[in-house]
Homo-oligomer: A and B are copies of this chain.
């Protein structure tokens, strides 16, 4: 039932990037954010195939933007997470948190074991 909502490792990162970028989320900006924040230099093809998949699973939606008056200002396809996408992100995070909790690998002082 929640099987549709299961996110791959990279899908989750892309969704988080989209949320984070807000109104400025589109393929190229997602690529840049991932490179900057977590040093993940993914090829453009990898990224867009993941974006396509996320879209066909209705985890994100897109709106075509207008070309902007700057060099190379081709029209962007702005991305936005859907309700379903948010649910998927929350579920992933919840599972990770549950499995992570209280582990000695966690660096800090552990409360439980």
Chain A positions within 8 Å of B, measured between CB atoms, are 2, 6-9, 12-13, 16-17, 19-20, 37-40, 86, 89-90, 92-111, 113
Contact = CB atoms under 8 A, between A and B. Distances in A.
Contacts of A89: 105
Contact of A99 (B8, B17, B99, B101): B17
Q: How many copies does the complex hold?
A: 2
Contacts of A6: 9
A16 B100 contact: yes
Given A90-B107, A108-B113, A37 B98 contact: yes
A17 B7 CA distance: 19
Contact of A86 (B7, B105, B111): B105
24 contacts: A6-B9, A9-B12, A9-B92, A16-B96, A16-B100, A19-B104, A19-B105, A20-B99, A20-B103, A37-B98, A38-B95, A38-B98, A38-B99, A40-B95, A86-B105, A89-B105, A90-B107, A96-B96, A96-B111, A97-B109, A97-B110, A97-B111, A100-B111, A100-B113
